[in-house]
Chain A
Amino acid sequence: MKPLWRRLYDWVDERVQLGGLVEFMGKKYVPIHRHSVWYYFGGVSLFLFLIQVVTGILLLLYYKAGEEYAFESIQFLMSKVQFGWLIRSIHSWTANLFILTAMIHMFSVFFEKSYRKPREITWVTGMLMFFLALGFGFSGYLLPWNELAFFATKVGTDIAGIIPVIGKPVMIFLRGGPEVTGATLTRFFGFHVAVFPGIFTVLLGIHLVLVQRQGMSEPLDEPTGSEGEQKAMPFFPNFLLRDLLLWLIVLNLLAILAVFFPWELGMKADPFASAPAGIKPEWYFLFMFQTLKYIPAKLLSIDGEVLGILLFAFAGLLWTLVPFWDRKSSRGERNRFINYIGLFVVVYIMILTIIGWST
């Protein structure tokens, strides 16, 4: 008698022919070289996203959207529900770590030029997921309806409102009216738990299928093929097991952060209170926030803020489209210029984040 799992496999295989897929998986190799460590950050990001899905669903069991209920429901969750504080703390910490690992993943791909032909679509879907992650962060931040979130949302949506032509309607659309009110909370809740996850899942599916189908990208400067076999390890099970081990480590790290640095709830939002001193956006928005502080109010008769926002939007667009203008890397040639851009961006973000954090 065959073991149960084998019979189950045969049952499915007989109907949908798993053979080809299993053979394909068996042939997948992960190249080994001195930059191999960066391969792990995509997997870690995926793991953190899965944690967000699970903890997000758990939070949904108690969360009540609405001006009168949101803050109170989180208070209830954190003080009365068993381990409610832990689930919320993990969700908040994971959100931040997710953005961090996604950033590391993005920069490593950028510096390795792994976005080059034929992986343009993988890069673009990744960038779109990154922007969505920022959207997840921004919308999720408001959901507890606390003071900091209230003003962060006022400022964030007001910034959207100063974009020429489309700004005002976009702001009204985001806020659900001219002001940040319960209507904004309702909309952000919808974006956070339905719209964004739906789009994200589709993008993630494309991203992962492409990674599996095209295999791992190899660095341009590593010798390939001909002279001796290049070192590689099978994806299944060798690389996957390493991936899983790292996931376990990340989970432990998360547990430590969530338990020893539990996420605060703060004060309930009051539309008729002043913005509290020391108010700051989340760290991943800090470098933009700090830049806006340095741009003078008027530059050549253009509003400084408008200029700053348009510049960031333009930079983001160029960054997303890099596979299409970095022709050299696609031809397999070295392109140092890309390294300089990447280095500038990393240093710029780090310095402005630190200044923003410390002032």
Chain B
Amino acid sequence: MPVMENETGQYEKSKRDFLKYILGGSIIAWLAAILYPVFAYLKPPKQGEVEVTSVKAGPVTTFAKDSGTIIRFGNKPVILIRTSSGEFRAFSATCTHLDCTVQFRNDMGLIWCACHNGKYDLTGRNISGPPPRPLDAYRVVIQGKDVFISKNA
């Protein structure tokens, strides 16, 4: 194709621009082709977990009155509390503040988080310190001699 030689410089300039875009575009595409797999690699894959809906905590007699025990619920900790009246209650043991694991304090009669001094009452309500939300409640069922904990109160 005959390109007019440099009368105004127009042709030359558009040809150069065209090459610039091609080169720039190729560099971006090349970077994307390298960076995409790298970033995708950094993101850990979702592990297929067995959805746990209920666990057996143990025989009623192992839980003293006025005490709390951490029970393994799938891969999450759950706190099972037996009140001084003998009633069982269960809550997620993960502090709603910054992910620490809470504990039952019978000297305070509360659920307490050691990391930032967060406090919850025995209904799981956040009553003092930094926790922004109550602890999620779990359902406790006593079947025969055993205590079972299940999701959704």
A residues contacting B by CB (< 8 A) are 151, 154-155, 158-159, 169, 172-173, 175-177, 179, 183, 271-279, 292-293, 297, 303-305
Which of B42, B72, B114 sits near A277, CB closer than 8 Å? B114
- Secondary structure type dominating chain B contacts: loop
Task: Write the B87-125 contact mask toward A (1 if CB under 8 angstroms, else 0).
Answer: 000000101001111110000000001111100000000
Q: Does B44 contact A (CB under 8 A)?
A: yes
A359 CB → nearest B CB, Å: 9
A257 CB → nearest B CB, Å: 28
Q: Give chain A residues whose Cβ lies under 8 Å from the Cβ of B47.
A: 177
Q: Does B25 contact A (CB under 8 A)?
A: no
Q: Give chain B residues whose Cβ lies under 8 Å from the Cβ of A177.
A: 44, 47
CA of A34 to CA of B100 in the docked complex: distance in angstroms?
49
Known contacts A159-B98, A173-B43, A183-B44, then 15 further A-B pairs from the complex at CB < 8 Å, ordered by chain A residue: A154-B98, A154-B99, A155-B100, A173-B42, A176-B44, A179-B75, A271-B77, A274-B79, A274-B102, A275-B95, A275-B100, A277-B114, A279-B115, A292-B116, A305-B98
Which of A154, A271, A293 sits near B130, CB closer than 8 Å? A293
- Indicate whether A155 sits within 8 Å of B99 (C-beta atoms), given known contacts A173-B42, A274-B93: yes
Closest chain A residue to B129 by CB distance?
A293
CA of A151 to CA of B99 in the docked complex: distance in angstroms?
8
- Contact: A155 with B98, CB < 8 Å? yes
A285 CB → nearest B CB, Å: 13
Interface size class of B (residues with CB under 8 A): 20 to 34
Q: List 21 A-B contacts (CB under 8 A).
A: A154-B99, A154-B100, A155-B115, A158-B99, A169-B43, A172-B43, A173-B43, A176-B44, A271-B75, A271-B77, A272-B70, A274-B79, A274-B93, A274-B101, A274-B102, A274-B114, A275-B100, A275-B101, A278-B114, A292-B116, A297-B132
Q: Give chain B residues whose Cβ lies under 8 Å from the Cβ of A273.
A: 70, 101
Which of B43, B75, B115 sits near A275, CB closer than 8 Å? B115
Q: Give chain A residues whose Cβ lies under 8 Å from the Cβ of B77.
A: 271-272
Interface centre among B98, B103, B130 (most CB of A within 10 A): B98
Q: Give chain B residues whose Cβ lies under 8 Å from the Cβ of A183.
A: 44
CA of A272 to CA of B74 in the docked complex: distance in angstroms?
11
A186 CB → nearest B CB, Å: 10
Q: Give chain A residues whose Cβ lies under 8 Å from the Cβ of B95.
A: 275
Q: Give chain B residues whose Cβ lies under 8 Å from the Cβ of A303.
A: 132
Closest chain A residue to B102 by CB distance?
A274
CA of A278 to CA of B113 in the docked complex: distance in angstroms?
10
Q: Give chain B residues whose Cβ lies under 8 Å from the Cβ of A173.
A: 42-44
Closest chain B residue to A359 by CB distance?
B117
CA of A257 to CA of B30 in the docked complex: distance in angstroms?
53
CA of A272 to CA of B75 in the docked complex: distance in angstroms?
9
Q: Give chain A residues whose Cβ lies under 8 Å from the Cβ of B99.
A: 154-155, 158
A134 CB → nearest B CB, Å: 18
B99 CB → nearest A CB, Å: 4
- Contact: A279 with B114, CB < 8 Å? yes
Q: Give chain A residues whose Cβ lies under 8 Å from the Cβ of B75.
A: 179, 271
CA of A179 to CA of B100 in the docked complex: distance in angstroms?
11
Q: Give chain A residues whose Cβ lies under 8 Å from the Cβ of B103.
A: 274-275
Q: Give chain B residues whose Cβ lies under 8 Å from the Cβ of A292.
A: 116, 130
- Contact: A151 with B70, CB < 8 Å? no
CA of A271 to CA of B43 in the docked complex: distance in angstroms?
23
CA of A297 to CA of B72 in the docked complex: distance in angstroms?
30
- Contact: A151 with B43, CB < 8 Å? no
Q: Give chain B residues whose Cβ lies under 8 Å from the Cβ of A169.
A: 43
Closest chain B residue to A155 by CB distance?
B98
Closest chain A residue to B45 by CB distance?
A177
B110 CB → nearest A CB, Å: 13
